[in-house]
C-alpha cells in the first residue's frame, strides 16, 4: 500500500530529528523527565514531544473510527522501512461463523519445520490491526528466526468480549492442527502479544491448559493488560502525559468488557485466575512509564509463585507500546530485540 505524500513528509521530519546530535535532540525534547526513580529515555521523550505537538492520543476525538485511523497513520511515522526479505502469506482461520484473517510471515532462508509465534496485536481490543503491527511481526520473525502467524481478531465495540478471545483460541488450535501445512514444528509453537494482545494471548494459554489440549511451549507478553478489575499504583503515577492514559484504559475497557460483564472473570483479567500452574515458560516485559506496569509485574510474580518459569524485564525508561516505535531511534529497537532473543532461545532457533 502506498504511503500518502503528507505522511511521507511527516515521517521524514521525524527521522531527521532522530538523526540530530544528542544535544540537539535533548533541546528539542526538553529537560530529562524523572518519575518514580526512573529517567525517561531521550528516544521516548522525542516521540512524546511529537505526539503532544500533533495532539495524537490513543483515543482520538470522534471515537473508534478516528482512533483506528490514527494508529494506522502512526505506523508509517515510527515503524520504519518495511523489513525485508520476509515472505507473507494471507490466510483465513475458520471460526464458528466465518473466518478470522491471519498473516503468516516467513523470514528468508528459514527452513521447514521451524518454530512459530502466534502473535496477537495490541490496541485496547478496539483499534490496531495486522497492518498496524506489520513491522512488529516482521521484526520478530526476522530477529527470532521463526514464522509468525499474526491474527486479525474481531474488534470491540462491534465485537466485545469474548469475540476476540474466541478468534485467538481458534488461531492457536489452527496452528497446532495445520502445523505441517504452515511449515512449523508442532513442538515449537509459542503465543504472544502486546498490550491488549498480551491479555488475549495470556488468556488463550490459560484456556488451553484448562481444556487439556495442546499448549504453547512459550508465551511472549509485552506490557500486557492482566487485570481490568482495579487500578494499581502505576495508574496513579502515569495517569496521563505518557501517551496511554488512565482515561484511555477506561474507554477501552468500556468497549471490550462493558457492564454488566464481570471484569474479575479470569478470561478478562488473567491475573485473577485461581490456578496458574502448568502454564508455559514466559517472557514478560513492562515499561517503566506505563499505567499497566504494576499489573504486568503482578502477573509475572503470580506466575512465578505458581511454579512457572518467568523472565520479567522492566524497560524502566520506556513508555507503553514501545515495540511499535522500532523504526525511530535505537532504544525501542533494543528493547524489542531483547524480546525477540528470548523467543529465539525458547524455540531453539
Q: Which residues are catalytically annotated?
A: 195, 290, 320
How far apart, in whole angstroms, are the C-alpha atoms of residue 332 and residue 323? 6
Do 247 and 115 contact (CB within 8 A), yes or no? no
CA dihedral 108, 109, 114, 116 (to 10 degrees): -20
Report the distance separating Cα 130 and Cα 119, nearest Å: 9
85's grid cell: 526479505
CB atoms within 10 A of CB 34: 9
Query: What is the three-state SS of the chain?
Result: CCCCHHHHHHHHHHHHHHCCCHHHHHHHHCCCCEECCEECCHHHHHHHHHHHHHCCCCCCCCCHHHHHHHHHHHHHHHCCCCCCCEEEEEEEEECCCCEEEEEEEEECCCCCCEEEEEEECCCCCCCCCCCCCHHHHHHHHHHHCCEEEEECCCCCCCCCCCHHHHHHHHHHHHHHHCHHHHCEEEEEEEEEEECHHHHHHHHHHHHHHHHCCCCCCEEEEECCCCCCCCCCHHHHHCCCCCCCCHHHHHHHHHHHCCCCCCCCCCCCCHHHCCCCCCCCCEEEEEEEECCCHHHHHHHHHHHHHCCCCEEEEEEEEEECCHHHHCCCCCHHHHHHHHHHHHHHHHCCC
Collect all residues with Cβ–Cβ distance below 8 Å to 254 and sequence separation of at least 6. none
The grid coordinates listed for 46 are 522525542
Amino acid at each position: 500500500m502506498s504511503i500518502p505524500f503528507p505522511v511521507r513528509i511527516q515521517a521524514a521530519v521525524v527521522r531527521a530529528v532522530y538523526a540530530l546530535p544528542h544535544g540537539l535532540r535533548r533541546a528539542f525534547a526538553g529537560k530529562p523527565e524523572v518519575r518514580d526513580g526512573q529517567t525517561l529515555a531521550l528516544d521516548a521523550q522525542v516521540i512524546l514531544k511529537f505526539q503532544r505537538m500533533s495532539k495524537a492520543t490513543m483515543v482520538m476525538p470522534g471515537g473508534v473510527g478516528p482512533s483506528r485511523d490514527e494508529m494506522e497513520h502512526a505506523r508509517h511515522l515510527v515503524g520504519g522501512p518495511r523489513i525485508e526479505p520476509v515472505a507473507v502469506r494471507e490466510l483465513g482461520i475458520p471460526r464458528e461463523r466465518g473466518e478470522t484473517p491471519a498473516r503468516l510471515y516467513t523470514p528468508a532462508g528459514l527452513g521447514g519445520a521451524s518454530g512459530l509465534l502466534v502473535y496477537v496485536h495490541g490496541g485496547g481490543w478496539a483499534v490496531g490491526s495486522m497492518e498496524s503491527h506489520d513491522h512488529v511481526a516482521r521484526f520478530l520473525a526476522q530477529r527470532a528466526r521463526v514464522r509468525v502467524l499474526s491474527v486479525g481478531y474481531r474488534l470491540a465495540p462491534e465485537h466485545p468480549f469474548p469475540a476476540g478471545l474466541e478468534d485467538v483460541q481458534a488461531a492457536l488450535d489452527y496452528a497446532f492442527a495445520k502445523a505441517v501445512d504452515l511449515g512449523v514444528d508442532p513442538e515449537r509453537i509459542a503465543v504472544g502479544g502486546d498490550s491488549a494482545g498480551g491479555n488475549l494471548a495470556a488468556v488463550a494459554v490459560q484456556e488451553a491448559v484448562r481444556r487439556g489440549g495442546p499448549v504453547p511451549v512459550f508465551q511472549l507478553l509485552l506490557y500486557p493488560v492482566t487485570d481490568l478489575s482495579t487500578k494499581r499504583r502505576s495508574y496513579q503515577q502515569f495517569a496521563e502525559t505518557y501517551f496511554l492514559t488512565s482515561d484511555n484504559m477506561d474507554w477501552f475497557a468500556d468497549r471490550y468488557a462493558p457492564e454488566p460483564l464481570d471484569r474479575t472473570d479470569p478470561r478478562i483479567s488473567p491475573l485473577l485466575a485461581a490456578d496458574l500452574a502448568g502454564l508455559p515458560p514466559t517472557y514478560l516485559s513492562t515499561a517503566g512509564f506505563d499505567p499497566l506496569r504494576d499489573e504486568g509485574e503482578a502477573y509475572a510474580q503470580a506466575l512465578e509463585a505458581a511454579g512457572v518459569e518467568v523472565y520479567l524485564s522492566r524497560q524502566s525508561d520506556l513508555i507503553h507500546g514501545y515495540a511499535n516505535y522500532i523504526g525511530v531511534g535505537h532504544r525501542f529497537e533494543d528493547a524489542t530485540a531483547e524480546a525477540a532473543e528470548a523467543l529465539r532461545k525458547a524455540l531453539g532457533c
